[in-house]
Amino acid sequence: MSEAVADDVAVPEAESGSSLWRDAWRRLKKNRAAVVSAVILAMMILGCVLVPVLGSHDYASQDLALGATAPSGEHWMGTDPLGRDIMARVFLGGRVSFAVGVIATLVSFAIGVTWGGVAGYFGGRVDSAMMRVVDVLYTFPFLILVILLQVFFANKDGTFHHLFQGIIGPLVEDAADPSWFPVFQICFVFAALGGISWLTMARIVRGQVIALREQPFVEAARSIGVGHAAIIFRHLLPNALGPIIVYTTLTIPQIMLTEAFLSFLGMGTQEPLSSWGLLAAKGAEVMELYPWMLVFPAVMLALTLFCFNFLGDGLRDALDPRIRKD
Amino acid sequence: MALLEVDDLQTHFFTEEGVVKAVDGVSFRVDRGEVVCLVGESGSGKSVTSLSLLGLVPSPPGRIVGGSIRFQNGETSEDLVKASEARMRSIRGDRIAMIFQDPMTSLNPYMRIGRQLAEVLEVHQDLRGDAARKRCLEMLEAVGIPGAASRLDDHPHQLSGGMRQRVMIAMALLCAPDLLIADEPTTALDVTIQAQILELIEERKNEMGVGVLFITHDLGVVAKMADRVAVMYAGRLVEQGSVDAIFEQPQHPYTEALLRSIPRIDTGGGRDRLEAIDGLPPSPANLPPGCPFHPRCRYAVDPCRETFPDRRRFDLDGHPHEAACHVPPEERG
């Protein structure tokens, strides 16, 4: 008996966790729009991973003699005026767009949920101080700030670039190679977008936690000796999961759009790399001549935004155990 | 040595409208295996008293400003008013447990029953996994939940109110506490379920020898459960004594009025109208001077309007009794 106990120490956590998710999964499967969205997103992500690797065209190689051509058997999404394959560029752009959207959202999720949860739970002066920080940050015109940071600090001699090289230095051998510079620029965008988008998350979570912390079950948890951190993360935040998930799934497309906007302005992703925003911006310039250059990246972006919205909606329903099992 | 000895407890709330003396000089004791009922109207300070015992008074604005709460823990006794937050956390749920009024909202809707029960064991005994699950299962069976094994994996919304209150009781008893605080545990339940829950609490008390502080405004429940009764009015204890003495020979006009305001099957026979207590309970932020009950008291004399009466201690039918009134019963007209 005692041996079995010792072996199973980690089991209940994982077990109860996985069965919550199993229930949620079962409910999610019944929501057709969410399932279709999830499948489309999965295919899209798979495409973004595989197409640049397996595709027969390179995203950067030019064929000036070919120039811009409409979609054909050879180039399924056509080519741009430099003769580059649009499909290769769209899927490479998808990599960047997804990565920016997801990573920046995770950053904003981690900061926002913790910040809002702590402020809402403790209330009083702690809450006032923490939320004043959020208020002050809100008043900054952040997009302009990101652009300024980008212009003044995201250059090859800037502090941030040295910091970036310091971080990747131990990981790769050619950290000083200029080919890493575009990667640095993208990472800068991750950090900047994540850093600005947690404010709304913090406010939403704080509001939820304030409404929840007066619930008797929180007092009941305190009455059995549960500590503050466990109450916030085990009792309060799971109960706020619905709005958090919905807002998260809305943040991803929002950040993808912001990235697109920055790229459009020439501040985000730089040629020859691509992102959907950058491709759409380039396509918009020539939409009357070569509409396929705009249509494909725009459709991919729009489809992704739709799918995230449907999926978020489905997840909110699925994660609520109060909805009857049937 | 009593299990719990509360002496001159004062819990005040410092609000913008002024100091609210929610609990103002309350003294009582609870022994092992004994049920003490704390009775009073809404706002009389019953719940704040119980929260004070657990160190759960919402702060700010609330604070225990005076008195002591001596709690016997093994051989030694300690003052919970002076205990650190960490110490209180280790006592809550382990040595002193609480059952709440509304079982519908006292369980986390996102957590399975088994997980919520196991949390107590995890916090206090570092017990997890199968061993914890086994203990939870035994306790669910002990509180009379049919099909307990399958209930462990249910979410709270899948249980009825009575079942949930049984789960709350199981949670409170898992660590075999010395003191159980029950804050109106049957108020939110059907009458038939109420009787079952009361019996369950009594049965568990007898089996485990736990002292129970039972908070209620239902005198019928008091008559069924109590060994001793303490009556609260406007943050003060006005009378306490054995349950028989309180019901048969109430010494304080407020207790007397309370008893007259409930229907009795053995007197009157339905011909007399029930008596209500005149007026309203005073606002705790704005108490009348002197004895707070005097504006509603039929026997009030001049000293009642000026000073709060001292507690008189005496024996009544061989049981210690105390009441705080300026007018002795024999002088009441």
- Is A220 part of the contact surface with chain B (CB cutoff 8 Å)? yes
Note the pLDDT tens digit of each residue in A69-125.
Answer: 778 777 778 788 787 888 888 888 888 888 888 888 888 889 999 999 999 999 888
Average pLDDT of B165-180? 89
Average pLDDT of B130-139? 89
In DSSP terms, B12 is beta-bridged to B63
Contact B293, B253 (CB under 8 A): yes
- B115–A224: do the CB atoms touch at under 8 Å? no
> Binning pLDDT at 50, 70 and 90, where does residue B272 land?
low
> Binning pLDDT at 50, 70 and 90, where does residue A30 land?
confident
Nearest-by-CA chain B residue for A10: B129
**Relative orientation angle of helices B113-125 and B129-142, to the nearest 10 degrees:** 110
| pLDDT score for A14 | 36
Query: Tokens 């300024």 — which residue?
Result: A148
Q: Could you say which of A4, A220, A322 has the minimum Cβ distance to residue B100?
A: A220
The answer to whether residue B273 scores a pLDDT higher than 50 is: yes
> Binning pLDDT at 50, 70 and 90, where does residue A17 land?
very low
- A8–B54: do the CB atoms touch at under 8 Å? no
Cα A156 from Cα A188, distance rounded (Å)? 12
Contact A128, A211 (CB under 8 A): no
| pLDDT score for B105 | 87
Structure-model confidence comparison of residues B182 and A176, the more confident one:
B182
Average pLDDT of A208-235? 89
Q: Which two three-digit tokens encode residue B159?
A: 């249980």
| pLDDT score for A69 | 79
> Binning pLDDT at 50, 70 and 90, where does residue A3 land?
very low
What secondary structure, in 3-state letters, does B286-302 show? CCCCCCCCHHHCCCCCH
Side chain identity at residue A40, one-letter code: I
Side chain identity at residue B306, one-letter code: E
Note the pLDDT tens digit of each residue in B291-318.
Answer: 888 888 888 888 888 888 888 888 888 8
Average pLDDT of B140-165? 87
Percent of chain A residues past pLDDT 70, beyond the cut: 90
> Binning pLDDT at 50, 70 and 90, where does residue B271 land?
low
Q: Could you say which of A217, A222, A234 has the minimum Cβ distance to residue B107?
A: A217
Note the pLDDT tens digit of each residue in A161-183.
Answer: 777 777 777 777 777 777 777 77
| pLDDT score for A321 | 63
Residues in chain A with CB shorter than 8 Å from the CB of B52 are none
Residues in chain A with CB shorter than 8 Å from the CB of B90 are 225
Q: Could you say which of A4, A224, A227 has the minimum Cβ distance to residue B171?
A: A224
How many A-B residue pairs are in contact by the CB < 8 A criterion? Answer: 103
| pLDDT score for B259 | 86
| pLDDT score for B294 | 86
Structure-model confidence comparison of residues B97 and A164, the more confident one:
B97
Nearest-by-CA chain A residue for B114: A16
| pLDDT score for B267 | 62
Cα B205 from Cα B212, distance rounded (Å)? 7
- Is A124 part of the contact surface with chain B (CB cutoff 8 Å)? yes
Structure-model confidence comparison of residues A233 and A59, the more confident one:
A233
Contact A27, A323 (CB under 8 A): yes
| pLDDT score for B268 | 55
Note the pLDDT tens digit of each residue in A299-325.
Answer: 988 899 889 888 888 887 887 766 544
Residues in chain A with CB shorter than 8 Å from the CB of B56 are 219, 222-223
- Is B83 part of the contact surface with chain A (CB cutoff 8 Å)? no
**Averaged confidence pLDDT in chain B:** 86
Quote the ipTM score: 0.82
Q: Judged by CB atoms within 8 Å, which residues 95-134 of B form the interface with A?
A: 97-98, 100-102, 105-112, 114-115, 118-120, 123-124, 128-133
Average pLDDT of B224-247? 90
The answer to whether residue B68 scores a pLDDT higher than 70 is: yes
The answer to whether residue A67 scores a pLDDT higher than 80 is: no
What secondary structure, in 3-state letters, does chain A show? CHHHHHHCCCHHHHHHHHHHHHHHHHHHHCCHHHHHHHHHHHHHHHHHHHHHHHCCCCCCCCCCCCCCCCCCCCCCCCECCCCCEHHHHHHHHHHHHHHHHHHHHHHHHHHHHHHHHHHHHHCHHHHHHHHHHHHHHHHCCHHHHHHHHHHHHCCCCCHHHHHHHHHHCCCCCCCCCHHHHHHHHHHHHHHHHHHHHHHHHHHHHHHHHHHHHCCHHHHHHHHCCCCHHHHHHHHHHHHCHHHHHHHHHHHHHHHHHHHHHHHHCCCCCCCCCCCHHHHHHHHHHCCCCCCHHHHHHHHHHHHHHHHHHHHHHHHHHHCCCCCCCC
Cα B82 from Cα B88, distance rounded (Å)? 10
Contact A204, A247 (CB under 8 A): yes
The C-alpha of B313 sits at a distance from chain A's nearest C-alpha, in angstroms, of 34
For chain A, the residue count is: 326
Note the pLDDT tens digit of each residue in B28-67.
Answer: 999 988 999 999 888 888 889 999 999 888 877 888 998 8
- Select the residue from A223, A234, A326 to test the B interface by mutation, using most B Cβ atoms within 10 A: A223
Nearest-by-CA chain B residue for A238: B110
Question: A78 in the Ramachandran plot: left (φ > 0), alpha (ψ -120 to 50) or beta?
Answer: left
| pLDDT score for A6 | 38
Average pLDDT of B208-222? 89
- A239–B110: do the CB atoms touch at under 8 Å? yes
In DSSP terms, B314 is beta-bridged to B321
What is the end-to-end Cα distance of chain B in Å, rounded? 40
- Is B159 part of the contact surface with chain A (CB cutoff 8 Å)? no
| pLDDT score for B36 | 93
